[in-house]
Structure 1
Amino acid sequence: MAFKIAIIFTLAAFLNVGQGCETNQVDQLTARQGLDELLKEESYSSANNLWTTPYYYNYQPRTPLPGFANAYEGRTPMNRQQPNYFIKDEDSLPESRLFLGNIATNLIGSSLFNNRFSPANQFRPFANLLNRIPPNSANSRSAFDACTSPAGEAGICTMSSVCSLFAGRPSGSCSLSRVCCVNVVNGCGKTVTLNNTYWQSPATVSSPSNCALTIKLDAKLAEQSFKPICQIRLDMVSFTTAPPVAGTCTDTFQVGGATTMAPTICGVNSGQHMYLNVPSSGVTPSDVQLMFNFAAGAATRSWNIKIAMLPCAADYLAPSDCLQYFTSATGRVSSFNWQDTAGAHQLNNQNYNICFRTELVSSQPATEACLSVCQVPNGGDAFYITTPAPGSGETVTTGTTFAATLSAVGTTFFDNSVTTAPRTVAVCLYDFLLVTGGRDANGIEADRYCGNALNPAPLPAANVPVTTLAVPVPGGATTSIQVCTPVKPFKITYKTDGTEAAITTVTAPTVPFVAARDRGNTGFCLDFQQR
């Protein structure tokens, strides 16, 4: 080993060494123009490729476990050991002409050598040494696997020269003489072609203005050629824009070009994610646009969004009708812009499904999924979706509010407290959380939930005349309880309309009933558990 390390330092003194991966960000579409030629020079014939594995050509979904709902749900690679195609024969391969082998080449490609220098100092004496050693992997076009850096960042496994071409940052090493390349694009008007790219906001965001990014999907691109893409997952590592006004976004984030109808969002959404369906890039090349539009006015505007491109045959794709998809037995789910702070509001015009893969619990597929409101130590409201029942002396025609603090279920409420004009009033019709088959521990069941508590307790069928009331009309419950559903696949639906104001005019069929105005709606934050 000491002899090999000595050889490394000796060779570094004689080989032409160049700069490492640049810190300046580039447009990936521009950078990749030299990729085809680079791969042509450094790749070998696939006919002589001893390392061509079935991983790229026979990437089929795993057979669902017995008892699972259907093929709607798969298992992610996180829950199974990844096949290692490289251990069995690796020791028998001849070492390179420098007699270094994979251990030394991985050592060179790692941060041990190339990260010893500050970002300001672009001199990296070992950056190109790896590229002068022929890789044991024959076809470098397949060298774009996902990887995770020692710091927990997502990247792609590729040759050091390719990482440098895209101005990526090598962080750790992969097998077959490759580095884990972390790619970051900042600014506006850029194009992304690499999996696991981080889109970060520019240092200064002016307003009014807009900022967009294009994700180019095309199986003819070398970096995508072995894995046609059918989904994109966006992970919002950080996301802050101006908050909504009465539920309506002034700053907006929108998605274009995907078949998924993603809602417009704004506010604080750090930790949220989206799955976007796209036509198979192996059949129809397409562009997906991520677009920010900023209104005039001072506000904090910054983001860091990880863009993952998911292969069509992967067994960890989200079901096609799910904007969000959770793949663990326990966790937390919240509506966009939900915050554990007073004054945060739910967003208008939300309409999407949140899905939960059926997990194993005590070695058996879970039989039910349970939801409970999360703890809010900082003054937030874990569940507040519209308002459930009219208060004393209030009518829907005046636009005054319904009573807060109560739960509500169902779509309508017959209000005869207004003696001159009793009428059917919408409750969980325009804003609601749908939990099909939801029920409490006593078997009381409801599918639509709204109000200020998660509870299937029903509202009364009718009210006494308003003249006899000294307090708001009773109804629902004041406390949240756990709600469980046995209906598979586990899924909830969140929907809001386009206004927080009172609905006083019926325009069937889209607006079938009047409704009181909303007040202080926050959305929801729920802890889920499968059992």
Structure 2
Amino acid sequence: FSFFNVIRFRNVQCTGTNHHLGTCYSRQECTSLQGTASGSCARNWGVCCIIQKSCAATTSLNFTYFTNPEYPRAYTSSARCSITVSKCNSNICQLRVDLFELTLTQPNAEGACNVEHLDITGGASSVPVICGDNSNQHVYVDFQEDNAPIQISIRSTSAATTSHKWNIGLTQIECSSSERAPAGALMYYRELQGTVKSFNYGTSIDMDRTRQIINTNYGVFVRAASGYCSIEWTQTSGDLYSFTMTRGTDAILPSDLGTAAVAESGIDCTTDFIVIPNPFQNAMSLNTDRFCGNALLPTTTSAKPFVLTVVTNAAELPDQDNENRGFSLNYRQIPCT
């Protein structure tokens, strides 16, 4: 008699020997999926299978890389490039989109992504249209209840002159997973401290341009750790431009950036601003939760969930918002006392 043991294991996420993320499959399954085996998993019964797909692709795997053709070389075509993501099982609720590398043409002087942009559609939650430099950013998108797929597209016009490239990780998240972002979260952070940047944030800028992208309204959530009761938001140290949201930054002396002289709040913030609920500055409660201008003083809140809301309006030039960068803010969770 011949006896055969069928070895079964979960197709969970793994890290390959090349440090890329993959999914644990049998070697035969990995080959049939046109993946690349990189190291072992499941007590050596499986291989860490790296799946990389490009234009006009579909995927229903729990992790996939979506890259431009011939990545890591830059892509020069203006043709639309997209991938369609379907749930890998009925217990999937969310898709995390990691922009490991995303370099596209900068927005125009109005802050509009009129030449090329990343477009994420089909989800139950909306994602703003973004362009420019967004490497190492991430977003979460909820799947529709009817299981409709989510589509991620890079759309370009013939006016695109920048060689663009992207390497995007697509992770499917189960409904019961602790990794699932809360409702209303476009970005979600779990660490005790970290840095949050607005889309396309950067210090370099062309004269009379902007890096701040228009028409955004989204929530940045930080998971409150056990034993921590409040959170502090501060500008990124050593970066003069780390909070430049309104009022032309080009007209402000560099020595004034980041100081109380150019910090604005409340009724002065009607176009582009952030919201920090129930805020305190210098241990004093404030009567407003809106902040804009060219400085954010250290701000603390105990309101939970820890959330920072970001709003930008539909234009930059009419508001004379020249050379704004957006923001780069550090957060730090504070233990209960």
Fold match (TM-score > 0.5): yes
Q: Deviations along 1:33-63, whole A, 9 cap, x unmatched?
A: xxxxxxxxxxxxxxxxxxxxxxxxxxxxxxx
Equivalent position to 2:229, from 367, 376, 380 = 367
Q: In structure 2, what is the equivalent of residue 314 of structure 1?
A: 177
1:388–1:447 Cα change, 3 Å: farther
**What are the residue-to-residue correspondences of 1:115-264 with 2, within 5 Å?**
134-137=5-8, 143-175=10-42, 177-186=45-54, 188-203=55-70, 205-217=75-87, 224-225=88-89, 228-246=91-109, 247-250=111-114, 251-264=116-129
Q: Deviations along 1:242-265, whole A, 9 cap, x unmatched?
A: 000121112111111001110000
State the distance in 1 between where 2:218 and 2:86 align: 25
**What are the residue-to-residue correspondences of 1:469-484 with 2, within 5 Å?**
481-484=297-300
Equivalent position to 2:151, from 281, 286, 289 = 289
Equivalent position to 1:387, from 247, 260, 263 = 247
Q: In structure 1, what is the equivalent of residue 256 of structure 2?
A: none
Instruction: Give 3-state SS (helix, strand or coil) of 2:211's partner.
Output: coil
Q: Deviations along 1:399-458, whole A, 9 cap, x unmatched?
A: xxxxx96110012xxxxxxxxxxxxxxx3112101111122123152310000000xxxx
Q: What amino acid does structure 1 have at the position aligned with 2:331?
A: F
Structure 2 unaligned blocks of 5 or more: 252-259
Instruction: Give 3-state SS (helix, strand or coil) of 2:185's partner.
Output: coil
Instruction: Give 3-state SS (helix, strand or coil) of 2:11's partner.
Output: coil
Q: In structure 2, what is the equivalent of residue 339 of structure 1?
A: 202
- Residue 167 of structure 1 and its aligned partner are, at CA, apart by 1.3
Q: In structure 2, what is the equivalent of residue 106 of structure 1?
A: none
Q: In structure 2, what is the equivalent of residue 453 of structure 1?
A: 295
- Is the Cα–Cα contact under 8 Å of residues 340 and 376 in structure 1 kept in the other structure? no
Q: In structure 1, what is the equivalent of residue 137 of structure 2?
A: 272
1:152–1:388 Cα change, 3 Å: same
State the distance in 1 between where 2:248 and 2:107 align: 23
Q: What amino acid does structure 2 have at the position aligned with 1:345?
A: R
Instruction: Give 3-state SS (helix, strand or coil) of 1:197's partner.
Output: strand
- Is the Cα–Cα contact under 8 Å of residues 342 and 381 in structure 1 kept in the other structure? no
State the distance in 1 between where 2:14 and 2:266 align: 47
RMSD: 2.3
- Is the Cα–Cα contact under 8 Å of residues 436 and 485 in structure 1 kept in the other structure? yes
Instruction: Give 3-state SS (helix, strand or coil) of 2:279's partner.
Output: coil
State the distance in 2 between where 1:155 and 1:229 align: 18
- Residue 209 of structure 1 and its aligned partner are, at CA, apart by 2.5
Which runs of structure 1 show a deviation greater than 6 angstroms over 4 or more consecutive aligned residues? none
State the distance in 1 between where 2:21 and 2:77 align: 31
- Residue 200 of structure 1 and its aligned partner are, at CA, apart by 0.8
State the distance in 1 between where 2:298 and 2:331 align: 10
Q: In structure 2, what is the equivalent of residue 348 of structure 1?
A: 214
Q: In structure 1, what is the equivalent of residue 317 of structure 2?
A: 501
Q: What amino acid does structure 2 have at the position aligned with 1:197?
A: T
- Residue 339 of structure 1 and its aligned partner are, at CA, apart by 1.3
- Is the Cα–Cα contact under 8 Å of residues 325 and 356 in structure 1 kept in the other structure? yes
Q: In structure 1, what is the equivalent of residue 333 of structure 2?
A: 530
**What are the residue-to-residue correspondences of 1:55-134 with 2, within 5 Å?**
134=5
- Residue 135 of structure 1 and its aligned partner are, at CA, apart by 4.2
State the distance in 2 between where 1:359 and 1:298 align: 45
State the distance in 1 between where 2:320 and 2:306 align: 32
State the distance in 2 between where 1:180 and 1:386 align: 47
Q: Deviations along 1:492-522, whole A, 9 cap, x unmatched?
A: 10000110122xxxxxxxxxxxxx4222211
State the distance in 2 between where 1:501 and 1:443 align: 35
State the distance in 2 between where 1:483 and 1:496 align: 20
Q: What amino acid does structure 1 have at the position aligned with 2:224?
A: T
- Is the Cα–Cα contact under 8 Å of residues 438 and 447 in structure 1 kept in the other structure? yes
Say if 2:305 is the partner of 1:489.
yes
State the distance in 2 between where 1:134 and 1:181 align: 23
- Is the Cα–Cα contact under 8 Å of residues 408 and 449 in structure 1 kept in the other structure? yes
1:381–1:309 Cα change, 3 Å: same
Say if 2:280 is the partner of 1:439.
yes
Greater RCO, CA 8 A, separation 6+: 2
Q: In structure 1, what is the equivalent of residue 262 of structure 2?
A: 406
State the distance in 2 between where 1:297 and 1:181 align: 35
State the distance in 1 between where 2:215 and 2:238 align: 25
Higher strand proportion, which one? 2
